Copies of this chain bind each other. A is one copy, B any other.
């Protein structure tokens, strides 16, 4: 089976800075929940941005959904089919109310207002977030914001999910909730997380980004040994 997303030999550096990625190879297959870890600033978020075409690598190939992706136009489809959830929910929840934010994606895909509303209702119900429908986004708690950004991406019915630290700064009940939701989703996903306990609960495979390349992590802690395959 061919991978849904395949990055090969990705090199990248921000202008005027030392290189961040120096030959990253990554493959995501259907039904995988691949976890990425690595120090702050290792380039994990950068890698996601390259995968969906927000940044262009200096060298290397991005193959997504069966086709190599080169120009801007190629990546429009990738952005739609790969749902990227940002590290800071405040960057992603930019609409005034929850319903407007979740409807933003479907409306951009050409759905009518009524169709979009139906999708919003459906997604919120699936995540058991119906009570948040008419809430004002900037008044949500941190955990609620997280869950709504996830809903907003799921509303676009992506084939793959890219989640950047989805449990960052969440309390345990909300983290549990996210574990449950992710494990129940059919999509393949790549999840960035610093939290070994969280990774252990969801990962089918784990990679570590270090010195600009991806590698199988070396367990440092006895209980972390069960990570990976």
A positions within 8 Å CB-CB of B: 17, 39-42, 139, 141-143, 168-172, 194, 196-197, 210, 220-223
Contact = CB atoms under 8 A, between A and B. Distances in A.
Chain A contact residues, majority secondary structure: loop
A41 B221 contact: no
A171 B40 contact: yes
28 contacts: A17-B139, A39-B142, A39-B169, A39-B170, A39-B171, A39-B172, A40-B142, A40-B143, A40-B168, A40-B169, A40-B170, A40-B171, A41-B141, A41-B142, A41-B143, A41-B169, A41-B171, A42-B171, A169-B194, A171-B210, A196-B221, A197-B220, A220-B223, A221-B221, A221-B222, A221-B223, A222-B222, A222-B223
Contacts of A210: 171
Contacts of A171: 39-42, 210
Contacts of A220: 197, 223
